[in-house]
Structure 1
Amino acid sequence: MNITDVRTYILGNPWKNWLFVQVDTDEGITGLGEGTLNGFAKTVEAAIHELKHLIIGRDPFDVETIGLRLFRDVYSDGGQIQGSALAAIETACWDIMGKATNQPLYKLLGGRCHDKLRCYANGWYRGPRTPENFFEKAKIVAAKGYTALKFDPFGAAWRTVDRSDFSLALEIIASVREAVGPNVDLLIEGHNRFSVHTALQFADAMLPYKPTWFEAPVPPQLISAMVEVARRSPVPVACGEDYYCREQFAELLKHDAVHIIQLEPQFLGISASKQICGMAHAHHGVTAPHSAQGPVCSVVCSHLNMATPNFFLHEIFDEFNEPWEEHVLQPALKVQNGYLQPPEGPGLGVELNLEEVGKHPYHPGNWLPLFKQGWEKRESNR
């Protein structure tokens, strides 16, 4: 079996354009992947078409070689853009392998390690940045059966915050804790916002509300800063969604300071993601992959998580997205009472609904401006 072509499709979700790929083969089997990257859909699409000549004619089963050709052989560091292009193509190759062997992806990655996957809700707090909005929305989410909720209470903060904004963030955390009670995990999203000192001030101040983790409290580029926060914070630090190669995780893990690893399969590809899960396992860490891109990303994470012994939590953004999202993939991924099962069909177990994709055209204003006031409303910036 050989790869004959790579096709791309962009769906214009109002808060983030989603990029999908389909890889064709000479045996008529087509694989599905995703290359969504906030603000760079057209750029990643161009990268896919610029790089696909490297893998046309290759056997889609040779994913390690395909990964080397798309990453090493280019001899350039394209960062998350290159990683997104690689992951989109490589994911589609894994989908082809599953279809050719009539096995779900998680079976090819090591088999079932869990009865079901516990999910945490993200994106549920869409609306004004007030304790009242967070309180009401949190109660609704908990009533759906979710036992873990993630949210960013920090507005458009960057590095430092004034006293009133500091207090408002804590009031929001307190309101969510009051809404859901003592037994639900609260996951506080930092979105790479703070200096080391500001992050530590927040970590100390949020401790009474017993958060399960403080995510990405400082920018990811200086791993030493993340390590410093992790060692001094009374709240466990989670991070990793920004990294796009094994070496970055090796540098992070060698310090044995961060033990909740949020790898992003959409920047790494499935092969590297599986290896990084093993690296975290060797450091007694757990994994909670980033899954807030498009719907294929969530399906990929469900398979990876099912086959990962040290899996912790699965991120769910899909249920709190646009209502038509459930029609983009067939069948749609469904959460039941806060838990999830990966699809049992061959490969990813889902197919792209091109008719639905065609209803939502690309627009450059579809992106999430995390440092702009009111981003929580997740409205298009057209």
Structure 2
Amino acid sequence: MKITALETFLVAPRWLFLRIATDEGITGWGEPVIEGRAETVRAAVHELADLLVGEDPLRIEHHWQVLTKSGFYRGGPVLSSAVAGIDQALWDIAGKTHDVPVHQLLGGAVRDRLRVYAWIGGDSPEHVAELAREQVEAGFTAVKMNGSAQLRPIDTLAQSRAVVDRVTAVREVLGDDRDVAIDFHGRMSTATAKRILPLLEPLHPLFVEEPVLPEHSRNLPQLVGVTSVPLALGERLYSRWDFHDVLASGIAVAQPDVSHAGGISEVRRIAALAEVHDVAMAPHCPLGPIALAASMQLGFAIPNFLIQEQSLGIHYNRGHDLLDYLLDPTPFHFTDGHAARPTGPGLGIQIDENAVRRADAIGHRWRNPVWRHSDGSFAEW
């Protein structure tokens, strides 16, 4: 079997899909994308195609090594995301070739069902509480929320109280038997995080995500030392080398993204490295159906899995959602906040190729917002 072609598709709301074809009629799908830089990653995929066309798609590890190391300049989010989508598609082909789900090729399932969480938006305590109640009624046992809007390097007591008030409102809805995770998107400085994290301890969050920017990861031991709140990080780290020092810092949860951090092959290695440090895995995935399917295959195969992000109904997806590009939505039917183990071959989903091609004919130019502080200076989004 030989690879014959790689096609990419810009798919609303902000995704990039990849289709790898073979001379035996077996095709694989991947999702190589950086949100807001889809066209850049698309170009990288097609540059890498020169190394793949005519090759055996089942030599997955060999291709990963060549794709990541044959260029003199290595690493970074663009290359790692391009490789990630290719890697997903090659695993999809392998599973379909052997007529088994990918997790079976990774050693078999280590669990029978996979816990997932739902995103909630909202600005006021009343609004976030209402949205949390909706997810409880939908059966979810965990939600994730934004911790704050923009924060100044050292902000006011009122801002700290606003963070606590919003989380308190959600905790009151969830009760003691459900979980809330809090995402700060790196909006806190180290100094602000030292103030706010201890205030969240009585609310018992599942984890606090990106309390500081990844470039300030050297400060994580300081934060671990001032709070019992589990800290999570990793959506903006792209390899096991990026994770090496972070895992040793005392974080509790690693969050590599299977569409950014080198694909199934590399995220599985990151999971093994995390296990050495007693760090759980909560893969990042506010993306499309292929990325989620790949993440779920990993979740069923790695022992230190905690919970899976998924983007059904997230605000980014207004007008277009994951199920719009699937022939069968069953793999993403969640019961009691859990996903059933997928049994279909490869990634376990059937892409509606006609819908993908129609979407690509329109395309998209999604960009993340650019935030400003009240004085006009740049603020972290």
Match of 2:265 among 262, 271, 292: 271
Cα offset, 1:177, TM superposition: 0.9
Q: Is the 8 A contact 2:240 2:273 kept in 1?
A: no
**Paired residues for 1:89-168 under 5 Å:** 89-122=86-119, 124-125=120-121, 127=122, 129-157=123-151, 159-168=153-162
**Cα distance in 1, alignment partners of residues 267 and 169 from structure 2:** 36
| Aligned positions, number | 365
Note the residue ranges of structure 1 that are not aligned, 5 or more in a row. 374-382
Cα offset, 1:323, TM superposition: 6.2
Pick closer, same or farther for the CA change 1:356–1:235 going to 2, 3 Å. same
Q: Is the 8 A contact 1:158 1:371 kept in 2?
A: no
Tell me which residue corresponds to 1:250. Answer: 244
Does residue 205 of structure 2 align to residue 211 of structure 1? yes
Tell me which residue corresponds to 2:9. Answer: 9
Give TM-score scaled by structure 1 length. Answer: 0.91
**Paired residues for 1:285-300 under 5 Å:** 285-300=279-294
Q: Is the 8 A contact 1:32 1:351 kept in 2?
A: no
Tell me which residue corresponds to 1:376. Answer: none
Pick closer, same or farther for the CA change 1:35–1:158 going to 2, 3 Å. farther
Tell me which residue corresponds to 1:262. Answer: 255
Tell me which residue corresponds to 2:377. Answer: none
Match of 1:235 among 214, 229, 249: 229
* Cα deviation 1:290-320 (Å, max 9, x = unaligned): 1112221111111100011111111122244
Does residue 183 of structure 2 align to residue 184 of structure 1? no
* Cα deviation 1:154-173 (Å, max 9, x = unaligned): 01235443333322222111
Secondary structure of 1:330 counterpart: coil
Tell me which residue corresponds to 2:339. Answer: 340
**Cα distance in 1, alignment partners of residues 110 and 93 from structure 2:** 23
* Cα deviation 1:214-263 (Å, max 9, x = unaligned): 111011123212332223322110111111111111222234x1131111
Tell me which residue corresponds to 1:367. Answer: 367
Does residue 48 of structure 2 align to residue 51 of structure 1? yes
Does residue 303 of structure 2 align to residue 309 of structure 1? yes
Give TM-score scaled by structure 2 length. Answer: 0.91
**Paired residues for 1:348-359 under 5 Å:** 348-357=347-356, 358-359=358-359
Secondary structure of 2:205 counterpart: coil
Secondary structure of 2:297 counterpart: helix
Tell me which residue corresponds to 1:21. Answer: 18
* Cα deviation 1:279-300 (Å, max 9, x = unaligned): 1112222111111122211111
Q: Is the 8 A contact 2:253 2:279 kept in 1?
A: yes
Secondary structure of 1:352 counterpart: coil
Q: Is the 8 A contact 1:36 1:294 kept in 2?
A: no
